Structure 1
Amino acid sequence: NLSIKPVSLMENNKPRTLPGCPGSGKTTLAHTLARKIGCPAICRDEIKEGFVNTMKSSHESLGKDVNQGIYSTFFETLDFLLSRQITLIAEAAFQHNLWAPPLETLSCISQIKIIVCMVKPHLARSRFIQRGLSDPNRLRFHGDWGVRAAQQGVELPPGNYDPPLLPIPTLEVDTSDGYCPHLDDIESFLLKA
């Protein structure tokens, strides 16, 4: 559970969240923006990969509750950094039903802005599968069922994605071919008071 910090910290805390479906380009954009504005990128999948490495294990052997533990660790990490007034980029899928409650809690202690990475579902699925097939560790870390199906010659339909719908400043970015709006415009959106 996230703890609520004094509201006086809000003026300095500036988390930027990057949601999107798998394959939408959110991790690449998160790291690009973090380098550009000078702050850490906290990526949910990277936290999970670190955990799987520490356990010297695989997604499948860690049990069905591993993702819930990573979810909690991700938000505890954000809460910890924000409580110390550290601006950051937070990257994860942020599906509305699961992710909205902790984002609302964070919005009580910080000035959140959301950038939703948008791409046509079939392009996102294609990127997701290509990434999984080209990275031998992807299945070990995440147990991606879509990649496993592709290895067996089965093409699964793109999944549904429900971005967070919160009363928070939000910018949609088309990542089909580069960034639209342009990277400089995205940075301006993030840095605007």
Structure 2
Amino acid sequence: MTEDTTTPLPRLIIVSGQPGSGKTTLAHRVAREIGCPAVIRDEIKEGMVHAHGPGFQPAESDPLTMRTYPLFFECLQLLLAAGVAVVAEAAFQHRLWHTGLGPLMDLGELRIVRCHTQEHTMMARRRIRMSSEPTRAAHADAATLTPEPEWTPLHLDRPTLDVDTTDGYRPGLEAITAFCQA
């Protein structure tokens, strides 16, 4: 009888949603619960802006944003290739992100968590974080103060869980982490 010595693929948990949908908070919570790193696209850009120094002016598709996208996927690829499970968080709108995720599908077992909330809650969260989080100066947040009618959630042929973050989590955190680990 031969023993199966194949190493299982690490889990890649994608947490997505519109700005203000609660995805960053949930991504950090899930990563803590299951014991793996969280790679947050906005935090990578914030680190670039910090290294850039004063005077950076954010804009949609500014040079640092454009450098952030490939770096985000390179970080994920490096971790997955090393056998590390990871939570990846970004505003994964399907048309913008599915091509970057394609090469990662052979490196990790993908689970998608899509965050959503009521529009007025999302807009309120966006305004609050603009005024209370200094690191948000790295982002062109003023452009996100209106609803995005063209938003298309990430949809791939992988297990997907929709989470309402309006007041806590529905389903609850225990069910979310169970889905991520299944």
What's the TM-score once normalised by structure 2's chain length? 0.89
The partner residue of 1:81 within 60, 79, 103 is: 79
Corresponding pairs, count: 175
* 1:189 and 2:179 correspond: yes
* 1:37 and 2:34 correspond: yes
Q: Partner of 1:144 in structure 2? A: 141
CA drift of 1:157 comes to: 3.0
1:71-92, Cα deviation, whole Å (9 max, x unpaired): 0100000001100000010000
Distance in 2 (CA, whole Å) between partners of 1:100 and 1:114 is 12
* 1:19 and 2:16 correspond: yes
**Secondary structure at 2:134 match in 1:** coil
CA drift of 1:58 comes to: 4.9
Q: Partner of 1:157 in structure 2? A: 146
Between 96-105 and 81-90, the greater mean CA deviation after superposition: 96-105
Q: Partner of 1:114 in structure 2? A: 112
Q: Which amino acid aligns with 2:19?
A: P
- Do the aligned partners of residues 106 and 30 (structure 1) sit closer, same or farther apart at CA in structure 2, a change above 3 Å counting? same
Find runs of 4+ consecutive structure 1 residues off by over 6 angstroms.
none
Distance in 2 (CA, whole Å) between partners of 1:61 and 1:189 is 36
Contact kept, 8 Å, 2:49 with 2:64, in 1: the verdict is no
Q: Partner of 2:162 in structure 1? A: 172
What's the TM-score once normalised by structure 1's chain length? 0.84
Q: Partner of 1:68 in structure 2? A: 66
Contact kept, 8 Å, 1:122 with 1:158, in 2: the verdict is no
Q: Which amino acid aligns with 1:170?
A: T
Distance in 1 (CA, whole Å) between partners of 2:18 and 2:74 is 22
Q: Which amino acid aligns with 2:43?
A: E
Contact kept, 8 Å, 1:59 with 1:142, in 2: the verdict is no
**Secondary structure at 1:173 match in 2:** strand
* 1:51 and 2:48 correspond: yes
Contact kept, 8 Å, 2:58 with 2:139, in 1: the verdict is no
